[in-house]
Amino acid sequence: MQKDLSNYRKSYEKQELLESNCPENPMELFQTWFRNAEASESVDETNAMTVSTIGKDGFPKSRVVLLKKFTWEGYIFYTNYNSEKGKAIEANNNICLSFFWPALEQQIIIKGKAEKLAKNLSDGYFDSRPDGSKLGAWASDQSNVVKSREVLDENLSTFEKKFEGEEISRPEHWGGYLIKPISIEFWQGRPNRMHDRIRFTLAKDFSWKVERLAP
């Protein structure tokens, strides 16, 4: 099987990113870009982001998850702590997040340190989820091999019966991570592949160093 993609080309011409337009804190710029993406009718699931970890086998792995909150401190998402990504983070909490919004010709790449959220914060978010999602957190032994779809459905049915008429509590193996950024790069597509790349790097005094990178 073979397919030549060398003629796939697009000229990026929608916006620009200049140092003069950058705030001192990259979280301000992230918020601006995120809100613009959220308001765009061309962007679906603005909060979808790629999470990259280094597995226990030494290989990097990326997968798409949903950002559930961002604050001045960092970025929050939720998962099964016993999943492949959870085990990878436990062994090496260096993590990379990336957002790509093709309609806006923008991407954001975030390097940071992951840490588990406090239990009460994970409880609060879990309580806000639909019952089906809550039951799914119990029924799925995430990232482990299962014999068939029927096994998953049977597991779900088991927990539906277990919690019938009762409040569905958060399993201990499920919760949130806060990613505290140490580097945030904003990428804006430009013509002739001369893209704008502005990187913010956290300094020891907690100020942010701003640098332009060659495209």
Strand ranges inside the chain, DSSP E: 48-54, 60-66, 69-70, 75-80, 94-101, 106-116, 174-188, 196-202, 208-212
Q: Catalytic residues, which ones?
A: 193
Beta strands 174-188 and 75-80 are antiparallel
Sequence letter at residue 88: A
- 3-state SS assignment for residue 189: coil
Domains of the chain: 19-129+172-212 (2.30.110.10)
Q: At what angle do helices 149-162 and 131-139 cross, to 10 degrees?
A: 120
CA–chain centroid gap for 191, Å, is 28
Whole-structure pTM value: 0.93
Tens of pLDDT, residue by residue over 96-138, are 999 999 999 999 999 999 999 999 999 999 999 999 999 999 9
Tens of pLDDT, residue by residue over 32-58, are 999 999 999 999 999 999 999 999 899
